Structure 1
Amino acid sequence: MDAREFRNCMGRFATGVTVVTCKAESGNHGFTANSFTSVSLDPPLVLVSVDRKTKAFKHLKNNAFTINILNDEQEDVAMHFAGRPKETEPFNWVEGEHTTRLEESLAYIECVAWNEYDGGDHVLFVGEVKNFEYNDGNALTYFAGKFSTLSSEVQAV
Protein backbone atom coordinates (compact mmCIF):
# COMPACT_ATOMS: atom_id res chain seq x y z
CA MET A 1 0.00 0.00 0.00
CA ASP A 2 1.27 3.46 -0.87
CA ALA A 3 1.50 5.37 2.45
CA ARG A 4 1.27 8.81 0.78
CA GLU A 5 -1.91 7.86 -1.11
CA PHE A 6 -3.42 6.40 2.07
CA ARG A 7 -2.65 9.67 3.85
CA ASN A 8 -4.30 11.60 0.98
CA CYS A 9 -7.37 9.39 1.31
CA MET A 10 -7.57 9.98 5.07
CA GLY A 11 -7.25 13.71 4.39
CA ARG A 12 -10.69 13.61 2.79
CA PHE A 13 -12.16 13.29 6.28
CA ALA A 14 -12.69 16.87 7.49
CA THR A 15 -11.58 17.35 11.09
CA GLY A 16 -11.33 20.01 13.70
CA VAL A 17 -7.87 21.22 14.62
CA THR A 18 -6.48 20.79 18.12
CA VAL A 19 -3.26 21.44 19.93
CA VAL A 20 -2.43 18.94 22.66
CA THR A 21 -0.50 20.57 25.50
CA CYS A 22 1.21 19.22 28.60
CA LYS A 23 3.69 20.30 31.23
CA ALA A 24 6.91 18.42 31.99
CA GLU A 25 10.06 19.09 33.98
CA SER A 26 11.52 20.72 30.87
CA GLY A 27 8.58 23.15 30.54
CA ASN A 28 5.40 23.40 28.48
CA HIS A 29 5.04 21.28 25.35
CA GLY A 30 2.46 20.89 22.60
CA PHE A 31 1.74 19.59 19.13
CA THR A 32 -1.00 20.01 16.55
CA ALA A 33 -3.32 17.02 16.22
CA ASN A 34 -6.50 16.23 14.34
CA SER A 35 -6.75 12.58 15.47
CA PHE A 36 -8.92 13.24 18.51
CA THR A 37 -12.27 11.82 19.60
CA SER A 38 -14.64 11.44 22.52
CA VAL A 39 -14.63 7.89 23.92
CA SER A 40 -17.02 7.75 26.89
CA LEU A 41 -19.42 9.91 28.89
CA ASP A 42 -19.27 7.78 32.06
CA PRO A 43 -16.50 8.14 32.94
CA PRO A 44 -15.74 11.08 30.64
CA LEU A 45 -12.87 9.91 28.40
CA VAL A 46 -11.22 11.30 25.26
CA LEU A 47 -8.56 9.85 22.97
CA VAL A 48 -5.75 11.42 21.01
CA SER A 49 -3.58 9.50 18.55
CA VAL A 50 0.06 10.60 18.71
CA ASP A 51 2.86 9.83 16.27
CA ARG A 52 5.77 8.23 18.11
CA LYS A 53 8.16 10.63 16.28
CA THR A 54 6.43 13.75 17.63
CA LYS A 55 8.84 15.72 19.84
CA ALA A 56 6.24 16.09 22.61
CA PHE A 57 5.36 12.37 22.53
CA LYS A 58 7.73 11.44 25.35
CA HIS A 59 6.13 14.01 27.64
CA LEU A 60 2.63 12.50 27.41
CA LYS A 61 3.34 9.10 29.00
CA ASN A 62 1.55 8.99 32.37
CA ASN A 63 1.04 12.74 32.21
CA ALA A 64 -1.93 15.08 32.27
CA PHE A 65 -2.72 16.79 28.97
CA THR A 66 -5.13 19.32 27.51
CA ILE A 67 -6.88 19.15 24.16
CA ASN A 68 -7.19 22.75 22.93
CA ILE A 69 -9.80 23.00 20.16
CA LEU A 70 -8.76 25.91 17.95
CA ASN A 71 -10.94 28.71 16.65
CA ASP A 72 -10.81 30.03 13.10
CA GLU A 73 -8.36 32.80 14.06
CA GLN A 74 -5.73 30.38 15.41
CA GLU A 75 -4.20 29.00 12.21
CA ASP A 76 -0.84 30.51 13.24
CA VAL A 77 -1.11 28.63 16.56
CA ALA A 78 -1.75 25.36 14.68
CA MET A 79 1.27 25.98 12.47
CA HIS A 80 3.46 26.94 15.43
CA PHE A 81 2.79 23.57 17.08
CA ALA A 82 3.00 21.70 13.76
CA GLY A 83 6.71 22.45 13.48
CA ARG A 84 6.68 25.91 11.95
CA PRO A 85 7.22 28.04 15.05
CA LYS A 86 6.77 31.78 14.94
CA GLU A 87 9.50 34.07 16.23
CA THR A 88 7.15 35.17 19.01
CA GLU A 89 4.59 32.72 20.36
CA PRO A 90 1.14 33.49 18.86
CA PHE A 91 -0.62 32.42 22.07
CA ASN A 92 -0.49 32.66 25.85
CA TRP A 93 -0.13 29.74 28.26
CA VAL A 94 -2.70 29.31 31.04
CA GLU A 95 -2.01 27.20 34.10
CA GLY A 96 -4.85 24.75 34.68
CA GLU A 97 -5.58 22.54 37.66
CA HIS A 98 -3.66 19.56 36.20
CA THR A 99 -1.57 20.99 33.34
CA THR A 100 -1.23 23.93 30.97
CA ARG A 101 -3.52 25.02 28.15
CA LEU A 102 -3.74 27.72 25.50
CA GLU A 103 -5.62 30.95 26.05
CA GLU A 104 -8.45 31.89 23.66
CA SER A 105 -9.13 28.43 22.23
CA LEU A 106 -12.67 27.63 21.11
CA ALA A 107 -12.70 24.94 23.81
CA TYR A 108 -10.33 23.07 26.08
CA ILE A 109 -10.53 19.63 27.67
CA GLU A 110 -8.10 19.04 30.54
CA CYS A 111 -7.35 15.37 31.25
CA VAL A 112 -5.36 13.10 33.50
CA ALA A 113 -3.77 9.94 32.08
CA TRP A 114 -6.22 7.02 31.92
CA ASN A 115 -4.52 4.48 29.63
CA GLU A 116 -2.48 4.15 26.46
CA TYR A 117 -2.58 1.64 23.63
CA ASP A 118 -0.26 0.61 20.81
CA GLY A 119 -1.42 1.99 17.49
CA GLY A 120 1.38 1.02 15.10
CA ASP A 121 3.50 4.10 14.44
CA HIS A 122 1.19 5.98 16.84
CA VAL A 123 0.18 5.59 20.48
CA LEU A 124 -3.44 6.10 21.50
CA PHE A 125 -3.56 8.14 24.69
CA VAL A 126 -6.85 8.04 26.58
CA GLY A 127 -7.43 10.75 29.14
CA GLU A 128 -10.04 11.12 31.84
CA VAL A 129 -11.64 14.56 31.55
CA LYS A 130 -11.26 16.63 34.70
CA ASN A 131 -12.08 20.13 33.43
CA PHE A 132 -13.47 21.63 30.26
CA GLU A 133 -14.80 24.90 28.92
CA TYR A 134 -16.11 26.02 25.56
CA ASN A 135 -16.86 29.34 23.91
CA ASP A 136 -18.98 30.55 21.01
CA GLY A 137 -17.16 31.08 17.75
CA ASN A 138 -16.09 29.44 14.53
CA ALA A 139 -13.98 26.29 14.44
CA LEU A 140 -10.69 25.89 12.58
CA THR A 141 -10.96 22.81 10.37
CA TYR A 142 -8.62 20.80 8.17
CA PHE A 143 -9.54 19.13 4.89
CA ALA A 144 -7.39 17.81 2.04
CA GLY A 145 -4.25 19.44 3.41
CA LYS A 146 -5.75 22.90 3.92
CA PHE A 147 -7.21 24.90 6.78
CA SER A 148 -10.78 26.10 6.57
CA THR A 149 -13.55 27.34 8.86
CA LEU A 150 -16.74 25.84 10.14
CA SER A 151 -19.06 28.68 11.10
CA SER A 152 -21.09 28.62 14.28
CA GLU A 153 -24.24 28.92 12.14
CA VAL A 154 -23.51 25.49 10.60
CA GLN A 155 -22.55 24.09 14.02
CA ALA A 156 -25.93 25.04 15.50
CA VAL A 157 -27.87 22.85 13.06
Structure 2
Amino acid sequence: MDQREFRNCLGRFATGVTVVTYRGEDGGRYGITMNSFTSVSLDPPLILVAIDRRTKAYGKLPGRPFAVNILSSDQEDLAYHFAGKPREGLDIPWVEGALAPRLGGVLATIVCTPWQTYDGGDHVLYLGEVQEFQYRDGDPLVFYRGKMTSLSLDESSSASAFPSKR
Protein backbone atom coordinates (compact mmCIF):
# COMPACT_ATOMS: atom_id res chain seq x y z
CA MET A 1 0.00 0.00 0.00
CA ASP A 2 1.27 3.46 -0.87
CA GLN A 3 1.48 5.22 2.52
CA ARG A 4 1.40 8.71 0.98
CA GLU A 5 -1.80 7.94 -0.90
CA PHE A 6 -3.35 6.35 2.18
CA ARG A 7 -2.50 9.50 4.14
CA ASN A 8 -4.07 11.61 1.37
CA CYS A 9 -7.22 9.50 1.65
CA LEU A 10 -7.36 9.97 5.44
CA GLY A 11 -6.85 13.70 4.93
CA ARG A 12 -10.37 13.90 3.47
CA PHE A 13 -11.66 13.50 7.03
CA ALA A 14 -11.68 16.93 8.69
CA THR A 15 -10.53 16.87 12.31
CA GLY A 16 -10.21 19.35 15.10
CA VAL A 17 -6.74 20.41 16.22
CA THR A 18 -5.64 19.76 19.79
CA VAL A 19 -2.55 20.24 21.90
CA VAL A 20 -2.01 17.60 24.57
CA THR A 21 -0.18 19.13 27.54
CA TYR A 22 1.54 17.43 30.46
CA ARG A 23 4.26 17.87 33.07
CA GLY A 24 7.59 16.23 32.44
CA GLU A 25 9.79 14.46 34.97
CA ASP A 26 11.57 17.79 35.48
CA GLY A 27 8.27 19.48 36.40
CA GLY A 28 8.33 21.48 33.16
CA ARG A 29 5.29 22.05 30.96
CA TYR A 30 5.22 20.29 27.60
CA GLY A 31 2.78 19.82 24.75
CA ILE A 32 2.30 18.10 21.44
CA THR A 33 -0.07 19.04 18.62
CA MET A 34 -2.32 16.25 17.41
CA ASN A 35 -5.54 15.61 15.59
CA SER A 36 -5.75 11.95 16.61
CA PHE A 37 -8.25 12.48 19.42
CA THR A 38 -11.68 11.01 20.04
CA SER A 39 -14.22 10.33 22.73
CA VAL A 40 -14.49 6.70 23.82
CA SER A 41 -16.97 6.32 26.67
CA LEU A 42 -19.38 8.34 28.79
CA ASP A 43 -19.42 5.84 31.68
CA PRO A 44 -16.68 5.91 32.70
CA PRO A 45 -15.76 9.14 30.89
CA LEU A 46 -12.86 8.16 28.60
CA ILE A 47 -11.06 9.82 25.68
CA LEU A 48 -8.28 8.57 23.39
CA VAL A 49 -5.23 10.26 21.92
CA ALA A 50 -2.82 8.57 19.51
CA ILE A 51 0.85 9.60 19.60
CA ASP A 52 3.38 8.77 16.91
CA ARG A 53 6.21 6.64 18.31
CA ARG A 54 8.77 8.97 16.65
CA THR A 55 7.80 12.00 18.74
CA LYS A 56 9.49 13.18 21.93
CA ALA A 57 6.18 12.93 23.80
CA TYR A 58 5.91 9.22 23.03
CA GLY A 59 8.31 8.24 25.79
CA LYS A 60 7.27 10.97 28.21
CA LEU A 61 3.49 10.72 28.42
CA PRO A 62 3.00 7.20 29.85
CA GLY A 63 1.66 7.24 33.39
CA ARG A 64 1.22 11.02 33.47
CA PRO A 65 -1.97 13.05 33.76
CA PHE A 66 -2.57 15.12 30.63
CA ALA A 67 -4.90 17.77 29.23
CA VAL A 68 -6.42 17.80 25.76
CA ASN A 69 -6.74 21.43 24.65
CA ILE A 70 -9.11 21.91 21.70
CA LEU A 71 -7.82 24.93 19.77
CA SER A 72 -9.87 27.85 18.52
CA SER A 73 -9.56 29.24 15.00
CA ASP A 74 -7.19 32.02 16.14
CA GLN A 75 -4.65 29.62 17.71
CA GLU A 76 -2.89 28.30 14.62
CA ASP A 77 0.47 29.62 15.90
CA LEU A 78 0.08 27.46 19.03
CA ALA A 79 -0.66 24.43 16.86
CA TYR A 80 2.51 24.97 14.83
CA HIS A 81 4.58 25.71 17.93
CA PHE A 82 3.70 22.42 19.61
CA ALA A 83 4.11 20.60 16.28
CA GLY A 84 7.82 21.42 16.39
CA LYS A 85 7.68 24.63 14.34
CA PRO A 86 8.19 27.34 16.99
CA ARG A 87 6.94 30.85 16.31
CA GLU A 88 9.28 33.70 17.23
CA GLY A 89 7.92 35.76 20.14
CA LEU A 90 4.89 33.54 20.72
CA ASP A 91 3.48 34.00 24.22
CA ILE A 92 2.17 30.61 25.34
CA PRO A 93 -0.93 31.10 27.53
CA TRP A 94 -0.13 28.44 30.15
CA VAL A 95 -2.70 27.84 32.89
CA GLU A 96 -1.58 25.79 35.87
CA GLY A 97 -3.81 22.90 36.86
CA ALA A 98 -3.79 20.50 39.77
CA LEU A 99 -3.25 17.49 37.51
CA ALA A 100 -1.77 18.89 34.30
CA PRO A 101 -0.92 22.25 32.75
CA ARG A 102 -3.46 23.62 30.26
CA LEU A 103 -3.60 26.31 27.59
CA GLY A 104 -5.71 29.43 27.94
CA GLY A 105 -8.08 30.75 25.30
CA VAL A 106 -8.93 27.31 23.91
CA LEU A 107 -12.45 26.14 23.02
CA ALA A 108 -12.30 23.24 25.46
CA THR A 109 -9.98 21.53 27.88
CA ILE A 110 -10.32 17.92 29.02
CA VAL A 111 -8.05 16.90 31.90
CA CYS A 112 -7.36 13.19 32.28
CA THR A 113 -5.56 10.64 34.38
CA PRO A 114 -4.03 7.63 32.61
CA TRP A 115 -6.48 4.76 32.04
CA GLN A 116 -4.86 2.33 29.59
CA THR A 117 -2.24 2.22 26.82
CA TYR A 118 -2.48 0.14 23.64
CA ASP A 119 -0.22 -0.67 20.70
CA GLY A 120 -1.42 1.13 17.59
CA GLY A 121 1.22 0.24 14.99
CA ASP A 122 3.45 3.28 14.49
CA HIS A 123 1.38 5.08 17.16
CA VAL A 124 0.58 4.42 20.81
CA LEU A 125 -3.03 4.80 21.91
CA TYR A 126 -3.49 6.48 25.27
CA LEU A 127 -6.87 6.29 26.97
CA GLY A 128 -7.45 8.90 29.63
CA GLU A 129 -10.15 9.00 32.29
CA VAL A 130 -11.69 12.46 32.30
CA GLN A 131 -11.35 14.17 35.68
CA GLU A 132 -12.49 17.66 34.71
CA PHE A 133 -13.45 19.62 31.63
CA GLN A 134 -14.48 23.09 30.54
CA TYR A 135 -15.62 24.61 27.26
CA ARG A 136 -16.81 27.80 25.59
CA ASP A 137 -18.40 28.84 22.31
CA GLY A 138 -16.26 29.83 19.34
CA ASP A 139 -14.94 28.68 15.98
CA PRO A 140 -12.59 25.66 15.97
CA LEU A 141 -9.24 25.25 14.27
CA VAL A 142 -9.59 22.40 11.76
CA PHE A 143 -7.09 20.20 9.91
CA TYR A 144 -8.16 19.15 6.41
CA ARG A 145 -6.10 17.82 3.49
CA GLY A 146 -2.84 18.61 5.26
CA LYS A 147 -3.70 22.22 6.07
CA MET A 148 -5.03 24.21 8.99
CA THR A 149 -8.26 26.08 8.42
CA SER A 150 -11.22 27.27 10.46
CA LEU A 151 -14.83 26.27 10.59
CA SER A 152 -17.27 29.11 11.13
CA LEU A 153 -20.66 28.19 12.48
CA ASP A 154 -23.66 30.48 12.39
CA GLU A 155 -24.63 30.34 16.06
CA SER A 156 -28.08 31.77 15.28
CA SER A 157 -28.98 28.71 13.25
CA SER A 158 -30.77 26.05 15.26
CA ALA A 159 -31.05 23.59 12.39
CA SER A 160 -30.01 20.09 13.32
CA ALA A 161 -28.17 17.68 11.07
CA PHE A 162 -30.45 15.00 12.51
CA PRO A 163 -33.96 16.40 12.86
CA SER A 164 -36.05 14.68 15.49
CA LYS A 165 -38.95 12.55 14.32
CA ARG A 166 -42.30 13.08 15.95
TM-score > 0.5, shorter chain as reference? yes
Q: Given that residues 77 and 90 in structure 1 are in contact (C-alpha distance below 8 angstroms), is that contact kept between their aligned partners in structure 2? A: no
Partner of 1:12: 12
Q: Given that residues 136 and 152 in structure 1 are in contact (C-alpha distance below 8 angstroms), is that contact kept between their aligned partners in structure 2? A: no
- 1:1-157 to 2 correspondences below 5 Å: 1-26=1-26, 27-153=28-154, 157=160
Structure 1: state its 5+ residue gaps: none
* Paired residue secondary structure (2:60): helix
Q: Given that residues 17 and 71 in structure 2 are in contact (C-alpha distance below 8 angstroms), is that contact kept between their aligned partners in structure 1? A: yes
Distance 1:11 1:90 in 2: 30
* Paired residue secondary structure (2:154): helix
Q: Given that residues 51 and 57 in structure 2 are in contact (C-alpha distance below 8 angstroms), is that contact kept between their aligned partners in structure 1? A: no
Distance 2:30 2:58 in 1: 9
Q: Percent identity?
A: 56
* Paired residue secondary structure (2:7): helix
Structure 2: state its 5+ residue gaps: 161-166
Q: Given that residues 32 and 81 in structure 1 are in contact (C-alpha distance below 8 angstroms), is that contact kept between their aligned partners in structure 2? A: yes
* C-alpha displacement of 1:140: 0.5
The 3 A distance-change label for structure 1 pair 4 and 71 is same
Counterpart residue identity of residue 113, structure 1: P
Q: Could you say which structure has the larger radius of gyration? A: 2
Distance 2:144 2:64 in 1: 30
Distance 1:58 1:88 in 2: 28
* C-alpha displacement of 1:11: 0.6
Distance 2:59 2:126 in 1: 12
TM-score normalised by the chain length of structure 1: 0.95
Distance 1:25 1:6 in 2: 36
* C-alpha displacement of 1:55: 1.1
Higher strand share: 1
* C-alpha displacement of 1:59: 1.5
* C-alpha displacement of 1:89: 3.3
TM-score normalised by the chain length of structure 2: 0.90
**Number of aligned pairs?**
157
